[in-house]
Every structure is written in C-alpha cells, then in structure tokens.
Amino acid sequence: MFGKLKEKLRSFIKKVEENVEKEEKEAEKKGILEKILMVEIKEKDVEEALEDLELELLEADVALEVVDALKEKIKEKLVGKKVRIGTDKEKIIEDAVREAILEILTPPRKIDLLEEIRKSEKPYVILFVGFNGSGKTTTIAKLAHWLKKNGFSVVIAASDTFRAGAIEQLEEHAKRVGVKVIKHSYGADPAAVAYDAIQHAKARGIDVVLIDTAGRSETNRNLMDEMRKIARVTKPNLVVFVGDSLAGNAIVEQARQFNDAVKIDAVILTKLDADARGGAALSISHVTNAPILFVGIGQGYDDLMPFDEKWFVERILGEENA
C-alpha cells in the first residue's frame, strides 16, 4: 500500500537532512560549532528538495493544488526551525512532514456516522454516487454489513435500473449480508425505486436506507440529471461519493463533477489495498472539503475500514507496512 508515496517522502526527508548536515559541517569548518548549539534550517536547504518532491508527488497522482498546499505547509514548518547540534534531524524533518500531511488530510468537519444515524429521524437515507466500476455496489453491501453489526436495520434501494445485471448483482450481495432490496424492473424511474424503499423503511421502522445508483460520468448528461432528481425526491441525509483510489488523479475530477450536480457530504475510497500511489487518498478530502468516511481494503464484506488520518500518515511515513 502506497509504496510510491512512501519512497518519495523518504527521499525528501533524506535530502533535507543531508543539507542540514552540510550546514553543520560548514559551521564546524569555520570553527564556530563550539560557539553555537543550534543550526537553523534555511530556505535553500528545503527549496531544491521540495522542487523534486513536487514532481514526484504529481507522479504519485497527488492533485496539483494539494501538492502546492503541501509544499507551502512543509516549508512553513521547516524553514527557520532551529535544530540542536547532534540531534536526530531525520526525526525532526519527518515530524514536520507528518504534521503538514495531517493538516492536509484533516477535513473541516468530521462525521460520526453511527451518531448521526442514532440522532436522526428514521430512516436515515444515504445516497451513493460514483463512476462505473468504482466499487459502489460492493461498498453498499459492506456498509450494510457494518451497520447491521452496529445494531441498525437496513434496506437497500436498487436504483441502478440502467446497467444490465445491476439489480441481480446487488440482490446477490444483499442476500449474503442478509439485507432486503427494494427493486423495480430495468428502465424504471430510479427516484421512484428510492422513494418506495424509504416508504418501506418508514412503514417498518427500519433505521437506514442505502440507495445504489447507476455509475455515471459527466458525459452522461441524462444520468447526471437523473441523479439530481433522485436527490430531490429522497432528500438524503448523506450523499456519499464512492471513488476508486486506483483511478488516481481522475477521481478528484470525478468528485468535483458530482459535487457540482449533487453536493457530496462524504467520500468512500475503494481498492486502497491495491493502491501503490496513495495520491487519491491524499488529495480528495482537501479538494472536496468532504471527509473520507471509510476505505475499502479488499473484496470481503468486512474489508471496509473507518478512515483515520493518523493511520494513513503512518502508512506513508512510519515503519508500518500493511
């Protein structure tokens, strides 16, 4: 997971460390080392390494605006910092990078989904949107499974009435996790299916309605309009964008398009287990202002993990290598 990002950040830390050590050596040569206890990290110690890092982050699919923000933050934290002679410089530089990444990753607001559901009127409605093949259907089944484990009853609306096989695929997943699906036939109005699922939940006191929708792209104008209609009719408590982390930078663009059509409240990133770059995960919250709620880390129903920024940062900076 995220091997590329990790490698690039390591190399940045190394370069800055070498530059600071050079400063230390120069001071030693000038014979002033005994007089000073600290070396200051100068802009020139960081600048060149940051230029290299910029290219490398872009290669790792980090969005341009996120690269810029990250560079600024790293610079802010490092330049002018005084490092005591003989201390572990690598650790000091690493901590600054860690703080910068955490700031980038931490969204303006967090969502405690279980708490939101608990305090909401029944049913709590979640609308899932995303491109084709992003892993939406699998993710809905995983989330249904997770919600059940947390004591909530769930029903799923088969509002992808567009793609052949979508309803059967959803029913198969739902059967395996023991959740009912409300469906119409193919070609039916997806908003009507979602509406029925909500009525069903209301009549039976079901806690949560999960609405599956057809995967779409901005070129599918009709599908985007249809998405707006589903949102209008169902007034979801939460709109979740499901993005395939392997799509890298492209998912930031996808998320923007959905955000324009129906405002995204949260993100679930799938296939993180296969993501060597990590750029999408680093970028998406910052660009959309929506928190990453969960990440998909495999194909099993338990392979959905609540997202934790610290966990992510440890994966790209720490020793851990899950």
Task: Tell me the binding residues.
Answer: 130-137, 212-216, 270-273
What is the distance in angstroms between the CA of the first residue and the CA of the last residue of the chain? 7
Can residue 243 be called a binding residue for ligand GTP (CB under 6 A)? no
The DSSP call for residue 299 is: S
Can residue 274 be called a binding residue for ligand GTP (CB under 6 A)? yes
Region binding ligand GTP by CB under 6 A among candidate stretches 37-45, 79-87, 125-133, 150-158? 125-133
Q: Pick between residue 155 and residue 166 the one whose CB is nearest to ligand GTP.
A: 166
Region binding ligand GTP by CB under 6 A among candidate stretches 106-114, 128-136, 148-156, 258-266? 128-136
Q: What is d(CA 21, CA 41) in angstroms, rounded to the nearest whole number?
A: 10
Can residue 75 be called a binding residue for ligand GTP (CB under 6 A)? no
Annotated binding residues for GTP, written as ranges, equal: 130-137, 212-216, 270-273
User: Given candidates 247, 297, 313, 317, which one binds ligand GTP under the rule CB under 6 A?
Assistant: 297
Can residue 159 be called a binding residue for ligand GTP (CB under 6 A)? no
Contacts of 220 (CB under 8 A, 6+ apart): none
Site for ligand GTP in 173-202 (CB under 6 A): none
Stretch (H or E) spanning 252 = helix 250-261
Q: What is d(CA 301, CA 254) in angstroms, rounded to the nearest whole number?
A: 25
Can residue 259 be called a binding residue for ligand GTP (CB under 6 A)? no
Region binding ligand GTP by CB under 6 A among candidate stretches 27-35, 69-77, 195-203, 265-273? 265-273
In 102-259, DSSP assigns E strands to 124-129, 154-159, 180-182, 208-213, 238-244
Region binding ligand GTP by CB under 6 A among candidate stretches 22-30, 252-260, 268-276, 306-314? 268-276
Can residue 3 be called a binding residue for ligand GTP (CB under 6 A)? no
User: Given candidates 19, 134, 283, 288, which one binds ligand GTP under the rule CB under 6 A?
Assistant: 134
Phi, psi of 67 (to 5 degrees): -60, -45
Could you please report the per-residue DSSP string of 178-203?
T-EEE---TTS-HHHHHHHHHHHHHH
Q: Give the helix, strand, coil percentages of the chain, each rounded to 5.
A: 55, 15, 30
| Least distance (Å) between residue 136 CB and ligand GTP | 3
User: Given candidates 159, 270, 283, 285, which one binds ligand GTP under the rule CB under 6 A?
Assistant: 270
Q: What is d(CA 264, CA 128) in angstroms, rounded to the nearest whole number?
A: 9
Q: What is the dihedral of CA 117, 239, 156, 195, to 10 degrees?
A: 100
Residues that bind ligand GTP (CB under 6 A): 130, 132-138, 160, 163, 166, 215, 270-271, 273-274, 296-299, 303
